Amino acid sequence: MRSARRFKRQALRLLARTHLAQGDPEAAIPGLERCVALAEKSGSSYERARAPAVLAEAQASCGSADNACEDTLAEAIRLFKKMGAHYDLDMAEEVRERLESLGPGGG
């Protein structure tokens, strides 16, 4: 069962990445919201950081994000730093910069 949940999280995240690559961030968001919920249950710090970081990326691509998204991204950045996940940290910091460029509250 654990493997099935892990593969489901991965599939949701990869599908979302496909939507982002195709320039359709709105299509990525529902699956990413589900991925975040599954990641919260996983017990994996890496998954709990990665899923919301990609969700924040999708929201930034849409031109909007709320304060909760910014807070979640900040927590993801903290976890990536703690784990030494440099690639993911760089991506998350780029997303944070995009959110900051949108103004207060991300939108």
Domains and CATH numbers, the chain: 2-106 (1.25.40.10)
Q: What is the pLDDT of residue 40?
A: 87
User: pTM value?
Assistant: 0.80
Instruction: Report in angstroms the alpha-carbon separations of 76 from 3, 22, 23, 72.
Output: 23, 25, 24, 6
86-102 vs 67-83: helix crossing angle, rounded to 10: 160
Q: What is the pLDDT of residue 106?
A: 52
* 78-90 as b/e: b if 16+ CB within 10 A: ebbeeeebeebbe
Instruction: Report in angstroms the alpha-carbon separations of 28 from 19, 43, 45, 58.
Output: 6, 23, 22, 7
The pLDDT tens digits along the chain (107 residues) read: 678 888 998 899 999 999 999 999 999 999 999 998 988 888 788 888 888 888 888 888 887 767 777 887 898 899 999 999 999 999 999 989 888 887 765 55
